[in-house]
Amino acid sequence: MKYIDEFRDGELAKGLAEVIAREANPARSYHFMEFCGGHTHAISRYGVSDLLPANVRMIHGPGCPVCVLPIGRVDQAIRLALEQGVTLCSYGDCLRVPASDSLSLMKAKGRGGDIRMVYSSADAVALAQKNPDKQVVFFAIGFETTTPPTAVAIKQAAALGLKNFSVLCCHVLTPSAISSILESPEVRQWGTVPLDGFIGPAHVSTIIGSRPYEFFAEEYRKPVVIAGFEPLDVMQAIKMLIRQVNEGRAEVENEFSRAVDRDGNLKAQQLVAEVFEMRKNFEWRGLNVLPYSALRIRSQFAEFDAEKRFPLGYQSVADHKACECGAILRGVKRPQDCKIFGTVCTPENPVGSCMVSSEGACAAHYTYGRYKDVA
């Protein structure tokens, strides 16, 4: 299949691994963060780390949308279903994210909540059309990739004159998370998380383009290489990062040129800007409250804002004491450093959000890498 099989070629991977080993300076170490959960999954699934020299280390970042969703936001969604009696719709992974009182949306469904998995925001709009006597709320999460479809759903609901459809908006922004990592004391002050560069996200970059990353290269002197999700994409990006570090450069390079350009999808950006605006503050799991890091629905579309339609409020809730998801999302710890990894916390019984989605660092390591911990 064009653009897939070619990027999973074992012989090409072997050749790339030899180039990386040859170009990596044995006198120094390289630490690169793959921001996106899709890259984390690809690195684990295809054993990319096993093809790298010992002095080239990949660090998991906070780019899994389910993983960074704080407990307080899931609690809001559960209250909507159990206390307000709405039909709550969301993507599949959201249903399994642990919340307060040992609940999740899936468990709340077992308690009688009308909670449904949908494949897109359009499914939620269609459900509202078919059930005019029922309040339907779409629990919208994710980075810039999933934000335009939510904007389309809100505009469609407005055009249809739907009075029973609203959105609980929890869309977050990639540049804010990268800034938070680079400004963290672990990176900026203590040096406990050495970072030499980033593999930039793929799908997010198709929307926002490569331009937003230029600030990080210039301000923090950290190279960024945007890469696709296939194993050869990732390996090529690592090679490009090593070359930048060796040459003392800090630039934004685009390995994923078959889908990403500098400006991104201008139509999608315009649509998002029309429907959403910046939140002053938003809590992220593991990164605390970040300023201007998320979106809210503009006043012109306030009738479709679930936070204004229903008496929700927001209360911050701490993670499970034994869970290390916060530290893993910041790159401070690895999944195998967590005491409950693979024992109490598994994909079937996730204690932390990083074990829920296949893009989560813990779930990826559990599925593809935990055998190495035994060796």
Query: Average pLDDT per run of 10 along the chain, which is 375 residues long?
Result: 77 95 97 93 93 95 91 96 96 92 94 96 97 97 96 98 97 94 81 88 97 95 96 97 98 96 98 97 92 96 97 91 92 93 93 92 91 63
**DSSP alpha helix (H) spans, 228-331:** 231-247, 266-275, 306-309, 325-329
φ/ψ of residue 108, rounded to 5: -65, -35
Contact between residue 167 and residue 309 where contact means Cβ atoms under 8 Å apart: no
Q: Do 5-64+175-254 and 71-171+265-309 agree at the fold level?
A: yes
For 5-64+175-254, CATH gives: 3.40.50.11750
- DSSP, residue by residue, 303-331: GGBHHHHS-------PPPTT--HHHHHTT
CA-wise closest residue to 81 among 154, 21, 139: 139
Q: Which among 277, 283, 278 has a CA at the least distance from the CA of 76?
A: 283
- At residue 222, the pLDDT reads 96
Domain 71-171+265-309 falls in which CATH fold? Rossmann fold (3.40.50)
Count of other CB atoms within 10 angstroms of residue 74: 28
Q: What is the DSSP letter of 261?
A: -
Residue 295 CA to residue 282 CA, distance in Å, equals: 9
Q: Where are the domains of the chain?
A: 5-64+175-254, 71-171+265-309
Question: How far apart are alpha carbons 226 and 217 in whole angstroms?
Answer: 12
> pTM for the full model?
0.93
What lies within 8 Å, CB to CB, of 5 at 6+ separation is none
Which residues have a Cβ under 8 Å from the Cβ of 206 and sit 6 or more positions away? 145, 259, 260, 264, 265
Question: Of the candidates 374, 367, 363, which has an alpha carbon nearest to the alpha carbon of residue 67?
Answer: 363
* Among 319, 284, 311, CA closest to 142: 284
* DSSP string across 107-155: HHHHTT-EEEE-SSHHHHHHHHHH-TTS-EEEEEEESTTTHHHHHHHHH
Tell the burial category of 326 from Cβ atoms under 10 Å away from its Cβ (0-12, 13-18, 19+).
Answer: buried
